[in-house]
Amino acid sequence: MSDSTITVRGYLGGDVALREAGDVPVASFRLACTPRKYNRRTDTWSDGMTQWYSVTAWRALAENCAGSLHRGDPVVVHGRLETRTYVNGNNVEVLSFEIDALHVGHDLSRGTSAFTRRQRETQAPMVEEVASEEAA
């Protein structure tokens, strides 16, 4: 099996929505990517058509996205690309681009960011702690 992976950079079109699928956190957001090209003949920049991607992140990445990203933030997303077609309410067939995110981060070419390492949850008390509680 070979997945199509893609890396895109753009701006969040809205805040991250966090929900649970079973017991697993899932974050979703829309990413707008507008290609920009320079024309040497006219010495001007022009914007292409904005491409919209639906991005889904799972588990710890989902929680970190929800706690870190906000509408309008410049981000870089790397993940598996899928395309879907559906018929919308106007009976028009629409092509949708969806990314199952593997990595998400702020685009530091657009500004600065501060990183906070996520603390791992302890699952069981250490043996020394159990022994000292039993002695008391």
Tens digits of residue pLDDT in 38-82: 999 999 999 999 999 999 999 999 999 999 999 999 999 999 999
Residue 20 sits in a domain whose CATH number is 2.40.50.140
Given a contact cutoff of 8 angstroms between Cβ atoms, the answer to whether 74 and 107 are in contact is yes
The stretch 102-131 carries a mean pLDDT of: 79
Measured in degrees and rounded to the nearest 5, phi and psi for residue 66 equal -65, -35
pTM score, whole prediction: 0.80
Query: Which residues constitute the domain of residue 65?
Result: 5-135
78-95 pLDDT per residue, tens: 999 999 999 999 999 999
Distance, in Å, from the CA atom of 39 to the CA atom of 131, rounded to the nearest integer, reads: 73
Q: What is the DSSP letter of 132?
A: H
Number of domains in the chain: 1
Distance, in Å, from the CA atom of 47 to the CA atom of 37, rounded to the nearest integer, reads: 7
Distance, in Å, from the CA atom of 36 to the CA atom of 47, rounded to the nearest integer, reads: 5
pLDDT band at 129 (very low <50, low <70, confident <90, very high): low
